[in-house]
Chain A
Amino acid sequence: MRIAGGDDSAFMTVYDRYGDMLFGTALRFFRDRDTAADIVQETMLAVWRRSDQFNPEHGSLGAWMLGIARNRAIDRLRAEARRPRIVRPADDAGGSDSSDPVAWAGRALMAADREEPASEADRRWVRSLLVTTLSEMRPEERDVLVLAYDKGLSQSEIAARLAVPIGTVKSRTRRALAGLRDRLEGVPDLRPGSPRVASGAPPVDRR
């Protein structure tokens, strides 16, 4: 990786390629621009510091960065949830108009944590990532995914519904799904009973 070799321009090239995606995902996760910006900065700093640890055989660069950002985001959410604070009655009701969105998200997570610690934060992260990925797709690619997932339509049914050749539907779906798969590499498997590790990451070592 060129960053590990001390190539400074590669660092900003990486930011230009992934900055919007990281910021969009963190913003949707926290609902707060300042916190989202902090997460992106921390992620970029980690990318620079740990660039020699990136192994393309374990997954894509984007997935690696998303994995770092996810860890930072979830850590911060949990830390905010644990921090004692004075809560105004209106905020305590959990209204979305809270003046401190991170605290609001933290409390929501804490409530969910009582039932199942890891999954709600991860589900929230994946949903944020999904919204960001969809927002970056071409509309025609997004449309075929929606029909496949929401309506359960086959490729030929989608072709008939949109009145486009089946080959076109297949290539649009393939492109959309490839993007989705690449992004989801960096997040843990959310399915019940699955080990909570990202498919693109090496085994977690928290010593």
Chain B
Amino acid sequence: MTPLSHSAAHEQLADLALEPAALRQLAGELDGAPAPGPADPLAAHVTTCAACRAEIANWQRVHGSVAEALAGPGGPQRLEDLALEDRVAAPAALRMAVQGIPVGGRSAAEAAAAGAGPDLSALRPSPLPGRVRLTSRMLLPLAAVLAVVVVAGGLLLDQAGRINRATADAAALAAVTVTLDRVVRDPRHRIVELRTPAGTAGGSVVWSSHDLVVLTTTLAAPPANGVYRCWVELDGKRSPVGRMFFADGTGYWIGSLDGWATISLGSGSTFGISLEPASGSTGSPAVLAARLGG
């Protein structure tokens, strides 16, 4: 029998992946059986093709994970039993809370509002009909009404802006609290004090094996073209790890040390915060720093 080309084999595998039982059988043949002969051209191709073997492994993983998920401690379930539930929508309040997360120095809600802008067209006077003579007597009440509308509108917009900021601040600090709570519940958590160059206490760094939280009330929010960057320095080499955010007079940063982090908080290293240009780090001196153990 003619050996299969890679594209023909791949096509057959794509079909086979649709049938968990058939894929399992092929994988079983490849695992245990002696080298397949020309009678089974697909198996013969797969034994020599790493890409096809990887594809089989990927699909086996999917089918295997489904099977394992169904084999719960309460006895095996059928997929049909899991397919009875309706779709769940996240509550609208959650979307608002997520909008309150400060992104890029402002809440997502503020960012959206900045893009759209409030519609002030309702406050503009309508064109007057022609040939109507306006006397000062007629204009005075109209001007008074307009003044009230403009002032009230301005107050409302200002109030809405303040509420947005307060909501964003509350959401940000709530997220800090949740993380801080998780960190301090870890019996292996560590706390070190941040100090200014003059040696005064200026905040704290607390971390567990998963998270790191930096808090300070010493720093004011940075100027528009600046940013407070966080870094870890070891053997004179700085590694940037994040930047400080500000909410209601508190500077904070939440970092994650789990799955995706690559920075080690080993002994002898220093955590620092410096005021840098928004365009990038220039290695400015630390405004707050803490030795991380050792």
Contact = CB atoms under 8 A, between A and B. Distances in A.
Interface of A: 3, 6, 8-9, 11-12, 15-16, 19-20, 22-24, 27-28, 33, 37-38, 40-42, 44-46, 48-50, 53, 67-68, 71, 75-76, 79, 83, 112, 119-120, 123-124, 126-127, 130-132, 134-136, 142, 145-146, 148-150, 152, 154-155, 170, 173-174, 177, 180-181, 184, 187, 189-192, 194, 199, 201-202, 204-207
B58 A201 contact: no
B32 interface: no
Given A23-B88, A123-B69, A48 B175 contact: no
Contacts of A145: 79, 83
Interface stretch (B124-132, B214-222, B260-268, B283-291): B260-268
Nearest to A149: B79
Interface of B: 14-15, 17-22, 58-73, 78-80, 82-83, 85-91, 93-95, 97-99, 101, 103-104, 106, 108, 111-112, 115, 171, 175, 178-179, 182, 185-186, 209-210, 242, 254-266
Contacts of B90: 19-20, 22-24, 37, 40
Contact of A48 (B87, B103, B257, B262): B103
A12 B108 contact: yes
A130 B83 CA distance: 9
Nearest 6 CB-CB pairings of A with B: A8-B111, A23-B90, A190-B68, A24-B88, A191-B64, A126-B69
B126 to A, nearest CB: 34
A103 B290 CA distance: 37
Contacts of B68: 119, 123, 126, 190-192
Contact of B99 (A12, A75, A199, A206): A12
Contacts of A201: 259-260
A83 B181 CA distance: 12
Give chain A's interface secondary structure class: helix
Given A71-B258, A180-B66, A205-B259, 17 more contacts: A23-B94, A37-B91, A50-B256, A75-B210, A76-B182, A79-B186, A126-B65, A131-B85, A136-B87, A146-B83, A149-B67, A177-B17, A177-B18, A181-B62, A189-B64, A189-B65, A202-B260
A124 B72 CA distance: 8
Contacts of A130: 66, 69, 79, 82
Nearest to A139: B83
Nearest to A48: B103
Contacts of A174: 14, 18
Instruction: Kindly name the residue among A46, A132, A187, A201 whose own CB sees the greatest number of chain B CB atoms within 10 A.
Output: A46
